[in-house]
Structure 1
Amino acid sequence: MEYSRIRKLREDKDLTQEYMAQLLHVNQRTYSRYETGEHAIPLEQLCRIADFHNVSVDYLLDRTDTRKPYPRK
């Protein structure tokens, strides 16, 4: 699975892969592989990315076109 929305969100904010990698405590190569789909993104990391961009995980996974995250309980 390619995570093209993750790349687009990062680029829309003019952020580097290195910046995102540091945020997630992984190296840049690992983050790059997340974006291209060479590595599956661990759930914890996927949640961090969604929280950082203020979108739902379903949006990142291309399961919905609605960006808004779900309300917390």
Structure 2
Amino acid sequence: METLKILGQRLRELRKERKLFRRDLAELLEITLPHYQRIGRGIVNIPTLTLCTLADYYGVTTDYLLGRSEERGTLP
């Protein structure tokens, strides 16, 4: 699914901008590193709450993460 690939690409870009490692995000989400890597490759879907956690963490909208908007937006 294209949306999952876009999500993976955007998560990778945001992670690299902050100079974080995949394991840092896996720990934040309380998931295993291999599971986070599958998210990053667009192989697995993620729960809504996980999507919201990532959007809040990066200060972007869920629409941006899902490729529904090109504007990152800023959350309060």
| TM-score past 0.5 threshold | yes
Moved over 3 A (4+): none
Distance in 2, Cα, partners of 1:33 & 1:11 = 17
TM-score, normalised on structure 1?
Answer: 0.90
Q: Give the RMSD, CA atoms, in angstroms.
A: 1.2
Indicate the structure with greater helix content.
2
> Structure 2: 5+ residue runs without aligned partners?
none
Q: Specify which of 10, 30, 39 is matched with residue 15 of structure 2.
A: 10
Deviation at 1:28, TM superposition (A): 0.6
> For this pair of structures, how many residues does the alignment match?
71
Deviation at 1:69, TM superposition (A): 4.1
Calculate percent identity across the aligned residue pairs: 35
Q: Specify which of 21, 26, 43 is matched with residue 38 of structure 1.
A: 43
1:52 aligns with 57
Distance in 2, Cα, partners of 1:63 & 1:69 = 15
> Structure 1: 5+ residue runs without aligned partners?
none
SS of equivalent residue, structure 1 residue 10: helix
Distance in 1, Cα, partners of 2:34 & 2:49 = 18
Distance in 2, Cα, partners of 1:70 & 1:48 = 12
Distance in 2, Cα, partners of 1:41 & 1:21 = 13
TM-score, normalised on structure 2?
Answer: 0.87
2:28 aligns with 23
